[in-house]
Amino acid sequence: MTAPILFFVFAIVALAAALGMLISKNPVSSALWLILNLFCVAGLYLTMNAEFIAVIQVLVYAGAIMVLFVFVIMLLNLAELPDLKKVDWRRLTAYTVGMGLLSMLMYITASALDLVPDPPSLEAAANNGSVSHLAKVMFTQYAMPLEVIGILLLAATIGSVVIAKRKPV
Amino acid sequence: MEITLNWYLTLSALLFSMGVIGFLFRRNAIIMLMCVELMLNSVNITLVAFSQYLGDVSGQILVFFVMSVAAAEAAVGLALVIAIFRNKLTIDVTKINLFKY
């Protein structure tokens, strides 16, 4: 895991984009912020030497899923946008403090139990994200789940068409 | 300064909690779906970080499957949003109460 500057740039832009998605009122600008976030996450995968996952991230998330989101936002042509609920600062503070306490507790428990294992040798991690290595495992050891995912995608396609179809009245 | 596993886990936790906050505080159904995508993404960061740290390729295959399920979820969720918008002419989740009566 190298290139600290790249990591910090991508991480900060990803966090800023997520924040922009949360606070922007227009759904289209929310979608654009989320696309920026997804590209930054793809860059983070590249800093971890996971090239295949980075390419798939750009293709599937930024390419397919976000086009679907933007298409639906444009299709619905919302006359009046539901604006932000008035932010309840007490609830937000309670959420933040609760999550912080929970993560501290989890961290202390995990470090007391010594759950994090030792890293393996460096050359094993180096060619870990390569497409050939990934494909070898995916089409031998994980061939059955791959087929099941295909069936799931087919079912989701048919299901979404049926749900979104105009009912013949 | 070296970037260790903990940095990636921290970033992923922050992104996940931002997704949860958006899911809880926004009322627009499409933006809520986007927040779900953000949460799935942060989990993917964790999976890839652990996969590279441990030198085990199974984590990245799981990321591939998570992405497929996210695509299916987005398609079905947006189809539901379209169907609800056609009936109620709104995607404000506080105004959708089909199960109330």
A93 touching B, CB under 8 A? no
DSSP-based three-state secondary structure for A140? coil
pLDDT digits (tens, 9 = 90+) for B10-60: 899 999 999 998 888 888 888 999 999 999 999 999 999 988 888 888 889
Interchain pair A15, B11: CB under 8 A: yes
pLDDT digits (tens, 9 = 90+) for A26-69: 888 899 999 999 999 999 999 888 888 999 999 998 888 999 99
Q: What is the pTM of this model?
A: 0.85
Provide the ipTM.
0.89
Number of domains in chain A: 1
Considering the domain boundaries, does residue A48 fall inside one?
A: yes
Minimal-distance CA residue of chain B relative to A33: B34
DSSP string, chain B: ----HHHHHHHHHHHHHHHHHHHHH--BHHHHHHHHHHHHHHHHHHHHHHHHHHT-THHHHHHHHHHHHHHHHHHHHHHHHHHHHHHHS--BTTT--TT--
Considering the domain boundaries, does residue A7 fall inside one?
A: yes
Cβ contacts of residue A143 below 8 Å, gap of 6+? none
Considering the domain boundaries, does residue A131 fall inside one?
A: no
For residue A66, the enclosing domain spans 1-84
Q: CATH no. for residue A44?
A: 1.20.120.1200
Considering the domain boundaries, does residue A146 fall inside one?
A: no
Nearest residue, CB atoms, A72 vs list B24, B45, B82: B82
Q: Which domains does chain B have, with CATH numbers?
A: 27-101 (1.10.287.3510)
Q: How far is A6 from chain B (nearest CA, A)?
A: 10
DSSP-based three-state secondary structure for A158? helix
